[in-house]
């Protein structure tokens, strides 16, 4: 399982998860953020499709 922040300084969480899934395709991912859902979705995370803390 991977738990990652949505907003990171050098790589987006989407890119991180894509790279990990190249090696571990069935890994579970939980995204976390201190930001509201609107800002998170502006970053390309589709709230309905992911687990978000």
Could you tell me the residue ranges of all domains in the chain?
2-52
Q: What is the pLDDT along the chain (53 residues), one digit of tens a residue?
A: 988 888 788 888 888 888 999 999 998 888 888 877 777 777 766 666 666 67
Q: What is the pLDDT of residue 23?
A: 94
pLDDT of residue 47: 61
- For 52, list phi and psi in degrees, rounded to 5: -130, 130
Full-prediction pTM beyond 0.75? no
> CB-side exposure of 11: number of CA atoms within 13 Å?
9
Distance CA 30, CA 4 (A): 6
């Amino acid at each position: 399982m991977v738990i990652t922040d949505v907003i990171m300084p050098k790589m987006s969480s989407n890119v991180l998860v894509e790279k990990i899934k190249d090696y571990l395709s069935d890994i579970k991912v939980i995204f976390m953020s201190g930001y509201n859902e609107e800002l998170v979705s502006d970053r390309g995370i589709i709230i309905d499709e992911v687990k978000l803390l």
